[in-house]
Amino acid sequence: MIRRTLLLLALFGLSQFRGQIAPLEPVKAHYKTLQQLSSAPNPERAPLDKKSFPPAEYSSGTLIYTMVEPAYLSSAQVEILKSSVQFPANSSDQTRAELDFLLEWQEKRTPAQENRSSNILAPIGYWPHAAVLKNHNRYDENMQHLFYEGRTVMGNECTPKNYPHTAKLMQGITRDMRIMEFTVKYHLLRARPYHLEPRLQPLARISSPSFASGHTLWAYIQAFAWSELIPAKRAEFLELAYEVGESREIMGIHYPSDEEAARVLAHSMLTAMLENREFKEDLAKAKEEWN
């Protein structure tokens, strides 16, 4: 926490840091329990520390996002933020406990949980490249995904067409989220849980490194942003984001530390965006649509 606070102060200055975005809630549930274990390398499992995400499994499509210009963040902020989070060593007691936690999920997950995680939540996600041209074959579906959390909490009238300023804000935020997601992933190259634990039978195999969770980063930065527009619904937005993160654990494709780091990083990103005048203007216009 001290490290994160110092990084935030370096990014934004003390006067800018206070009271602008609702504060981050404390870590909770199994994320809190697992964090209390040692994240340092354990010599008894030292060979695991040589493992990283296999280059043969890289996706060129995701690598391209490391080359895109941000909408609201500066390139300097991206560089600082990518170093603000770190995963526990592969050999650490924390990682071992997280792998055991995923094995427990594998044993107890129900067909209904598998279906919701894999077929309902996994496909959701706004991709900036699919929003460039309106005749893109995924354009309409992509824009629906942009408002998944807003529509779920506020009802079917919550659409980009009905709330154009909110749509512009969410598009900019999510563009930066994709850049940050893959910048961090390819900076740290964390192996997926199934690369370390052969007993895991994931419900999917993913073509990018594990840390931090992109689905969870998307879910929380959207939840924090929606919460700024509609503060009374914050708990509901955060509950949705929590479900998205947990679904990645149910699938066996992310460590719990991937999810918690994404939650923290999402809040740091939104705070950093306050340095950008266009972000503040877009946020103000979006707020007017909900007042």
Tens of pLDDT, residues 163-173: 999 999 999 99
CB 196 within 8 A of CB 91: no
Contact 270, 221 (CB under 8 A): yes
Neighbours of 95 (CB within 10 A): 30
99, amino acid identity: L
The predicted structure's pLDDT at residue 14: 34
Phi/psi at 176 (nearest 5 deg)?
-65, -35
pLDDT of residue 19 exceeding 50, the answer is: no
Average pLDDT over residues 193-208: 97
Q: How much is the pLDDT for 16? A: 41
pLDDT for residue 236? 98
**What per-residue confidence (pLDDT) applies to 61?**
86
Q: 135 phi and psi, to 5 degrees?
A: -95, 10
Give this prediction's pTM: 0.92
* pLDDT at res. 39: 98
Phi, psi values for residue 274, rounded to 5°: -65, -15
What pLDDT is stored for residue 60 in this prediction? 84
Q: Which of 165, 174, 176 is nearest to 282 (CA)?
A: 165
Mean pLDDT of 113-121: 98
Question: DSSP class of residue 91?
Answer: T
Helix locations, the chain, DSSP H: 2-12, 14-17, 29-35, 60-63, 75-82, 93-108, 111-115, 139-146, 148-154, 164-188, 193-196, 214-229, 234-250, 256-273, 277-289
Nearest of 253, 226, 235 to residue 28 by alpha carbon: 235
Half-sphere exposure of 10 (CA within 13 A, CB side): 14
pLDDT at 207: 95
CA distance 279 to 269: 12
What does residue 209 show for φ and ψ, rounded to 5 degrees?
Answer: -60, 165
Q: How far apart are CA 99 and CA 101, in angstroms?
A: 5
d(CA 20, CA 139): 33
Does residue 212 have a cis peptide bond before it, meaning omega lies within 30 degrees of 0?
Answer: yes
pLDDT at 7 > cutoff 70: no
Task: Say yes or no to pLDDT of 149 above 50.
Answer: yes
Distance from C-alpha of 28 to C-alpha of 35, rounded to nearest angstrom: 10
Strand, helix or coil at 40?
coil
Is residue 98 within 8 Å of 199, Cβ to Cβ? no
pLDDT of residue 276: 96
